[in-house]
Chains A and B, each alone.
Chain A
Amino acid sequence: MGAELETLDEEKIQYIVVMIGSEQYGLDISVVDNIVRMQKITRVPKAPSYYPGVINLRGEVVPVMSARLKMGLEEDEITKDTRIIILRLEAQGLVGILVDEVKEVITLGESEIDRSNQNTNKQDTTYINGIGKSGDTLVSIFEINAIIDEVEA
């Protein structure tokens, strides 16, 4: 009973928690199409530096972005945990994001997300629209539209 009531209280959103560098980030699950293992990325000459290239996702050519490079961190280290999160976006179609590890799926209500965004001195803040508190860990919530914007020509 109690649990049911709780879910009715406010709208909850599920987030996929990923590791990028040493921090945890949350991606709204509604835009996630798929999570695939690391595979061969084909370089696209003259593409922006934070796009390592494209992959073949079941016959579709999907561009893959490096979240690390986009946020100004050091280059990706490919490990057995590296994953590509495939997002399905209305404007851009399918886009992959390279992350170090996929941790879990969490459910957060609006009350559990801090939208105040105090730490403005950090480089990646423009891509983040809030800090979610899940248990005793903090998860930065990605603003998808900011991180995958139109390419500066």
Chain B
Amino acid sequence: MDVSQYLDIFIDETNEHIQALSDNIMALEQEPENKDTINEIFRAAHSLKGMAGTMGFKRMQHLTHDMENVFSEVRNDTVKVDSNLIDILFKCLDAVEGYLETVKATSDEGTEDNAALIKMLNDVLDGNSGGSSDDAGDDSPAAEDSAPAAVADDQVGSEDPNGTNHFLVLKLDEEGLSKLRSAEEDDGLKLYGMTVHIQKECLLKAARAFLVFKALEDYGEILIYDPSSQDIEDEKFDLGFSVIFASESEDLESIKASVLAVSEIESVDLAAVTVEQYEKASEAEDTSASEPAAADDAPAESAAPAPAAASAPAAPAPAAASTPAAKKAANKPVTTRTVRVDLEKLDALMNQVSELIIAKNSLVSISSSSENSSGGLDTQSWQSQIEYLERITTNLHESVMKVRMVPIESTVNKFPRMIRDLSRKLGKPMNLVMTGEETELDRTVVDQLGDPLQHLLRNSADHGIESPEERRAAGKPEEGTIFLNAFQEGNNVIIQVGDDGGGINTEKVKAKAIERGMVTPEEAENLSQKEIIDFLFMPSFSMAKTITDISGRGVGLDVVKSNIEALGGNVEVKSTLGQGSTFTVRLPLTLAIIQALMVEIRDEKYAIALGSIQIIEDISIEDIKYVEAKEVVHLRGNVIPIIRLDQLLDFEPLDNEPSNLTVVVVKKGDLQAGLVVDNLIGQQEIVIKSLGKVIDNNKLISGATILGDGEVAMILDVNALM
């Protein structure tokens, strides 16, 4: 079956379910008795299993199946949730994620069976299965499954014949036996028994069965149906049916593969049989009680999930080729980057496009009517249509950007789990408080935000939060708090990551910087708090006293900084010794289109992003003062350095300087600077274009834009100026 077309959806949805599981398991740890959470977990695990099965990822399905079993027991109150169980479950989740990664890379689930994990899960079940099997009835199939699954794990290869290979226990009447006999003895054909298990979710079981029969007819003749062929046709069977068929072929694998190629087939058990077996069986049945008769219905029920569980780690021979369909498509990376879009956003987009068409039509009609009425264009209606058009394009832009926007949730929601793990590993109780997960950012930014944020959080956990003893001594609660706040501020999204830990010890940083030869002790004396903290962002400047695997390898904040800057953002730190530190990440909301102020320097035009502009001032030349031979201006209590853009951008100096300067005051965090320009042109929405690779080594210029008249203007990178 070709499932590659569903692979993207599978990957997306699996990610969602893994995340849901992770969230809920975290919640479960907090309140082990919450039924809603348990049900939610159970549903997610069940969906995961179903999807893995549909895609033919047997190992993944096996693992998730066993997880589902455990959840089912938890739901039935037969297994207690403790931190040990939570640990195992998280390990399983990691393993499932591992499968997903392999699937993403190769379209195949790989060969890792995760037998150890499955064993752990089954140990959890075994510890309780005694009590559960009594009261758990039909509504809890998992309880029944657990036994064979556990057996399979311990005794590799020995499948429980009653439970799985249903065709082995078929009871044949004399007519059936004679059919088999004639095929085997008279025609010299091989006899094969087969039990086919159809997925629970399957809606058209009869149709699937029909397709199976059709596939088998290519190989030979079906002699025995169980249930009868009529019952199968009428869908009077559960999730499995068995057949015995005669064939010339001895290629078990290809028969199996062609049956598995029918969609929604969960698994197939196939083996060669002889008439003798059934003769014996029917004799035995005559003598013994009709006990197996009851087993006729039961195995079909419990067998459906169980064989899948059993056959994956067991029987290396048949299971090795269990996913031939998936293998065919293997070994090409499959992930395409997709954005799931809220239908409402698309509707808005559609509406605006309709408006755009209307606006275009209006313009057409205005221009044609003015042609007829000999006079010039009707300027007023022309003007109003242009305004209308402008409004539509602005809205359209906003809508398109919104389509690209996704909440940062998808990136940050793996962090609670990470902090939990770190907390256990470091032996420091800590808690992560997140707000603003719904804050939206451009998809490309969100994707690349994970690593830097993760790093900052690890940093807080490792360096920020003190040991419980220290915290007690400092009069703080033993449990440290790490927070992640995201919110929108103008055209930026701010993400703050911080802790209530010890804060940055600037004296230590200073000492380290001197030791590394980055500054002389004399220079260090004059450094401001901020300048000292900036050392932390230097390459290979690690403050960790001991190198742990959490942080302290020297690849640290400098990487965070460069990652964030590559996204057009910046990072700042505020720290109070003894009270904790806060890292503030500032990111642009959109990457492609911005509001900008156009300015003129001599005869060239430059754009400055409006988001970074604070105020525009006219400053008399006499107000410029000098501090350390640099020009500054005193504005409303702030001393602001003056940057002469013409000098910076290699213009010839003016012969006679005007007595008044136009200064655009820009800000980057707490920093301000005044950019001297010759002229202001006005505010404009600009589309950012790359300068092309060959001259893109330019720190001052972040890109170019094309103006209305076709001219190109450079966009000044305010962050690089300061």
Contact = CB atoms under 8 A, between A and B. Distances in A.
A65 interface: yes
Interface stretch (B103-111, B503-511, B692-700): B692-700
A42 B604 contact: yes
B695 A48 contact: yes
Contacts of A55: 712
Contacts of A65: 694
Contacts of B683: none
Interface string B707-722: 0001111100000000
A63 B706 CA distance: 13
Interface in A70-119: 91-95
A48 B691 CA distance: 13
Given A44-B714, A46-B650, A54-B712, A63 B701 contact: no
Contacts of A153: 697
B689 interface: yes
B695 A56 contact: no
A63 B650 contact: no
A60 to B, nearest CB: 7
A44 B706 contact: no
A80 B704 CA distance: 27
Given A40-B711, A44-B704, 5 more contacts: A42-B712, A44-B691, A44-B701, A54-B704, A148-B694
A24 B697 CA distance: 32
Given A94-B692, A95-B692, A56 B710 contact: yes
Contacts of B714: 42, 44-45
B370 interface: no
10 contacts: A44-B691, A44-B704, A45-B700, A45-B701, A54-B704, A60-B689, A63-B695, A93-B693, A150-B693, A151-B694
Contacts of A35: none
Contact of A61 (B648, B689, B698, B700): B689
Interface in B408-432: none
A59 B704 CA distance: 11
Contacts of B697: 151, 153
Interface core residue of A54, A65, A92 (most chain B CB under 10 Å) = A54
Interface of A: 40, 42-48, 51, 53-56, 59-63, 65, 91-95, 148, 150-151, 153
B698 A56 contact: no
Interface in B634-675: 648-650
A24 B536 CA distance: 56
The majority secondary structure among interface residues of chain B is mixed
A60 B604 CA distance: 19
A92 B692 contact: yes
Contacts of B713: 42
B694 A46 contact: no
Interface residues of B, number: 25
A150 B650 CA distance: 23
B691 A54 contact: yes
B489 to A, nearest CB: 30
Contacts of A46: 649-650, 698-701
A1 to B, nearest CB: 47
B698 A44 contact: yes
A153 to B, nearest CB: 5
Nearest to B648: A45
A44 B710 CA distance: 16
A56 B708 CA distance: 11
A51 B694 contact: yes
A14 B676 CA distance: 52
A87 to B, nearest CB: 11
A44 B693 contact: no
B274 interface: no
Given A42-B712, A56-B711, A51 B695 contact: yes
A61 B694 contact: no
B689 A45 contact: no
Contact of B695 (A60, A94, A151): A151
B158 interface: no
Nearest to B705: A61
Contacts of A44: 691, 695, 698, 701, 704, 714
Contacts of A93: 692-693
Nearest to B703: A61
A92 B711 contact: no
A38 B697 CA distance: 25
A92 B693 contact: yes
B692 A63 contact: yes
Contacts of B693: 91-93, 150
A61 B706 contact: yes
B234 to A, nearest CB: 63
B706 A56 contact: yes
A61 B695 contact: no
Contacts of B694: 51, 63, 65, 92, 95, 148, 150-151
A90 B650 CA distance: 32
Contacts of A51: 694-695
A93 B705 CA distance: 17
Contacts of B710: 56
A152 to B, nearest CB: 9
A65 B699 CA distance: 20
Nearest to A94: B692
A65 B714 CA distance: 17
Given A63-B692, A93-B693, A47 B698 contact: yes
Contacts of B700: 45-46
Nearest to B605: A42
Contacts of A63: 691-692, 694-695
B520 interface: no
B351 interface: no
Given A55-B712, A56-B710, A59-B706, A45 B692 contact: no
A151 to B, nearest CB: 5
A48 B695 CA distance: 7
- Report, nearest first, the 10 A-B pairs whose CB atoms are least far apart: A42-B712, A45-B649, A61-B689, A63-B692, A47-B695, A61-B704, A153-B697, A92-B693, A63-B695, A56-B712
Contacts of B689: 60-61
A60 B703 CA distance: 12
Interface core residue of A53, A55, A56 (most chain B CB under 10 Å) = A56
A68 B689 CA distance: 27
B711 to A, nearest CB: 7
Nearest to B704: A61
Nearest to A51: B695
A14 B710 CA distance: 33
Nearest to A47: B695
A93 to B, nearest CB: 6
